[in-house]
Amino acid sequence: MMAGPDRSAASFDKLRMSATGSLPRSAQAEPVEARALPLARGKLTAQAPLAPLVWFKAGGAAQWLFEPKDVADLQAFLRDLDPDVPVMALGLGSNLIVRDGGVPGVVVRLGKAFAKVERVDATTLDCGGGASGILVSSTARDHGIAGLEFLRSIPGTVGGFVRMNGGAYGREVRDILTTCDVVLRDGALVTLPVAELRYTYRHSELPDGAIVVAARFRGSPGDPAAIQAEMDRISASREASQPLRSKTGGSTFKNPPGHKAWELVDAAGCRGLALGGAQVSEKHTNFLINTGAATSAEIEALGEEIRRRVKAQSGTELEWEIQRVGKS
């Protein structure tokens, strides 16, 4: 599906060390003028509202939103973009709080050109970084590939859950990923084996500004009817236990070792706790919801209050699973 890499994975460790971490505050704060942006074949939008693109339906604008035409367009744009300009990838916006002050620099959103899913062999799919978990699992079913059903339950795109080692129902991306194609902040395209991502729970060591444009997932031979039945079971389980019809961001906190985050939140008396328009879901206490016109500041502050109460009640420090980006 994707063009071959122009840099070997052997140099990835060096790139990781040089690119990982936050950019200087001065670079994050300075506006990026249109004349400072490289030419692109894709779509560039200034001050693009992000609230409509994220599940919480809250937050500020992207200073620049870039929707590349294809991988080569993305490579050329990042290669020629001032290295001090921050770059962030945006998928379905399901696991994200965009702060009310907006996101400086460039937000990259992969469109239809990156949403293809194709069979490589009897048990492997080649998936674009913009493809949804639902599309990947459904394509796997159609080709009789089992083991990818859990992707049906991850509300995001391939790029996002490869970066975050997304998982559910006892499986994680590291269980099925073989290789992925990544465009680095300097525009280089590399193909990385799963070991290079150094996965831990909901975390990889992909550097900031790197964008996953494709991934290969491997399952096992299976019966399409049985695969569909498992997908139906997962869908019904999510519908019964999660506030899927609310404006939410998915699981808010990581499960601490030996604990379930929702149980700790519940035990701390936070079920239904509200701050402005933000509320802890009554249905699943590890979900925050926007009940109407919540600001991102209210949603994030409610999360911090939950962390404080859980720490006071149980001594456990909850860690955010939802990503929080942008300026307050």
Q: Is 321 a catalytic residue?
A: yes
pLDDT at position 52 is: 97
Which of these is catalytic: 163, 202, 216, 309? Answer: 202
pLDDT at position 35 is: 76
Q: Which of 260, 312, 313 is nearest to 284 (CA)?
A: 260
pLDDT at position 245 is: 85
pLDDT at position 30 is: 64
Pairing of strands 287-290, 189-193: unpaired
Which of these is catalytic: 204, 251, 281, 296? Answer: 251
pLDDT at position 307 is: 98
Which of these is catalytic: 67, 230, 300, 321? Answer: 321
Q: Is 202 a catalytic residue?
A: yes
| Rounded-to-integer distance, Cα 284 and Cα 262, Å | 7
pLDDT at position 74 is: 98
Per-run averaged pLDDT (10 residues), the chain, 328 residues = 46 46 41 85 97 97 98 98 94 94 97 96 98 97 97 92 91 97 97 96 90 98 98 92 90 95 98 97 97 97 98 97 94
pLDDT at position 270 is: 98
pLDDT at position 206 is: 92
Domains in the chain with CATH codes: 23-109 (3.30.43.10), 114-226 (3.30.465.10), 244-320 (3.90.78.10)
Q: Is 118 a catalytic residue?
A: no
pLDDT at position 21 is: 36
Tokens in use for 314?
Answer: 């149980």
